[in-house]
Structure 1
């Protein structure tokens, strides 16, 4: 009976196996990069979205009640901010979510939120450590996040 010669088994990996491993490593590295997003940047975005919502709530209340509402960050008393003109029962918070957050009104001492429908262009800078985010309005629309060097 005729027998075929034994095939010599090659040692090592095939090109396909190497490509699959490299692809798996690339996907894992990409997912890790997304999972390790900067916590301060995330917290600052959260603070910005919250403050924009608070501004719109106070602005709507100011227009509905016909009273002037002002916002300013606290300076001497530590962390936080104040809405003046609204009653204490307004229910608006006066503290940042992160105690390291600092706010600064750009170009004016306070933010005016009404009662006029057009409030004028205004900007607020929020900072956590070296990170900065700017909220701005053109006076007609809501406060939105803009790049620090942009104007509303």
Structure 2
């Protein structure tokens, strides 16, 4: 019966002040528990380096495929260039001069996600090219190439065959189970 009276007194506010609220220690414990839960959940929701690379490599491969198709459809050569941290697409004019594509939302200039770098570009003979530049001719005959994207110790590659197939895959030495076509 005393428990019921005490509960009623607490509800009415008649109980002594020290029994009516939480102590500072109780509040700190609750805040600490909430902080641990938020940290755990956010750590699980953040994408891993490999996932970020796969998305970026997939996007770049699709944009290159689009550039190759647009070059064939329009009869105008398109080029791709990069400084390692960002990339741009260029269109060849009738005067053979190249101008940056700015009127196309898909083939616009892009910056890679923080930390991602295009580390090298190799031509069909496997030699590293000093310039990060590819051309997609209007006749559809694209040269085979491969390039590496890196983020920390993780890496993904993009490879193109002479017939225009673009593939992404984990960099050499990494697991092959999540190899993805286009």
If the TM-score is normalised by the length of the shorter chain, which range does it land in? 0.5 to 0.7
Q: For residues 109 and 117 of structure 2, what CA distance do their matches in structure 1 show?
A: 12
Please list, as runs of the form range in 1=range in 2, the aligned pairs for 1:125-136 lying within 5 A after superposition.
Answer: 125-136=148-159
**Which residue pairs with 2:66 in the alignment?**
57
Task: Say if 2:88 is the partner of 1:82.
Answer: yes
Residues 3-152 of structure 1 aligned to structure 2 (within 5 Å): 39-75=48-84, 79-85=85-91, 87-91=101-105, 92-103=107-118, 104-106=120-122, 107-108=128-129, 109=131, 110-149=133-172
Report the number of matched residues.
Answer: 114
1:147 Cα deviation after fit: 4.9
More displaced, 55-64 or 82-91?
82-91
Deviation per CA, 1:65-101, whole angstroms, max 9, x where unpaired? 11221112125xxx31111216311222322451211
For the residue of structure 2 that corresponds to 1:132, the secondary structure is strand
- Whether contact under 8 Å (1:72, 1:105) holds in the other structure is no
- Equivalent residues of 1:52, 1:142 under 8 A apart: no
The CA distance in 1 between the partners of 2:162 and 2:47, in whole Å, is 32
Aligned 8 A contact 2:71 2:140 in 1: no
Classify the secondary structure of the residue corresponding to 1:53: helix
Unaligned runs of at least 5 residues, structure 1: 1-34
Give the SS at the match of 2:103: helix
Cα distance between partner residues in 1 of 2:168 and 2:110: 20
Stretches of structure 2 that go unaligned for 5 or more consecutive residues are: 1-43, 92-99, 123-127, 174-182
